[in-house]
Amino acid sequence: MPTCQCANTSIHYQREGNGPTLLLLHGLGSSHRDWQAQIDAFKSNFDVIAPDFPLHGESNGDIHTFSLPYCARIIHALLDELEVEQAIVIGISMGGMVGLELAIHHPQKVARLAVVNALAECKPRRWNEWWMLLSRRFLLAYVSVENIAKLMAKQLLPGKGLEEARKKAVARWSRNDRESYIAAFNAVINWSVTGRLAAVRCPIFILSAEHDYTPVGAKKVLAYIYPEGEMDCLNGAHHLAPLEAPEQFNQRLSLWLLNSEHVSSV
């Protein structure tokens, strides 16, 4: 897999296809590999780039300087190194947060932005959000990374028919370095760009899974505040919809991409 030096950080990425650039940003503890179903689906019409964030996948990084704004700077540097003037950005969970940071600080790089199962802040407010935070901290302190991966796979990829997906996800996620994961987790908690949303200039698409951590209604509010905001919900899906229901996810994403008047000009 290609590597690019960006701000003293070695960033690994996968790049396939030709056409307008489609940038896929993964979530916490994940890597570009969780996007394979989307890479395969869209590479025939798009120049698909799927990087590993610092401290994730095959990319290195510093646990002391990791932050979501830093990730956005790294992605901006990567796009410059790859001579990409503008991209359609799709980010899930933490990747959606980095996508917002990128759209705020480097608006010229983002033609359109799809935020999947993420909001403009990650501050626990409801009891279940506090419970998820505290339980995750407990797991990080006392449970092995492999067992955490197994627990997360059962929670994020539930139900029959996903046994193989869970097995592969556990194998990938078990490779995470504990300290790197903790640093990334701490960077996500209490992150917010709610006071800077006016700086987002591109059309935004909020895509929610029906059974995501955060309520669908909150995502409707986020989409509503944008003149060109759009929102949709994937019925029956959970947080990792691209892995859990790739055909449903890709179909809805395809509709958004095909209806984009900006695709041909990127």
pLDDT tens, 17-57? 999 999 999 999 999 999 999 999 999 999 999 999 999 99
Q: What is the mean pLDDT of the chain?
A: 91
pLDDT tens, 105-163? 999 999 999 999 999 998 877 777 777 788 888 888 889 999 999 999 998 999 888 99
- Kindly indicate the confidence band of residue 263, based on its pLDDT and cuts at 50, 70 and 90: very low
Q: Alpha-carbon distance 112 to 123, whole Å? A: 25
For residue 133, what are the contacts with CB-CB under 8 A and spacing of at least 6? 124, 189
Distances (CA, A) of 124 to 97, 114, 185, 198, 211: 15, 23, 13, 23, 17
Q: Which CATH architecture has domain 3-123+192-265?
A: 3-Layer(aba) Sandwich (3.40)
Neighbours of 85 (CB within 10 A): 11
Q: Alpha-carbon distance 92 to 104, whole Å? A: 17
Instruction: Kindly list the domain boundaries of the chain, sorted by start residue.
Output: 3-123+192-265
Q: Dmax over Cα atoms in the chain, in whole Å?
A: 50
What percentage of residues in the chain have a pLDDT greater than 70? 97
Query: What's the pLDDT score for residue 132?
Result: 76
pLDDT tens, 160-179? 889 999 999 999 999 999 99
Query: What's the pLDDT score for residue 260?
Result: 65
**pTM assigned to the model:** 0.94
Distance from CA of residue 97 to its chain's centroid? 7
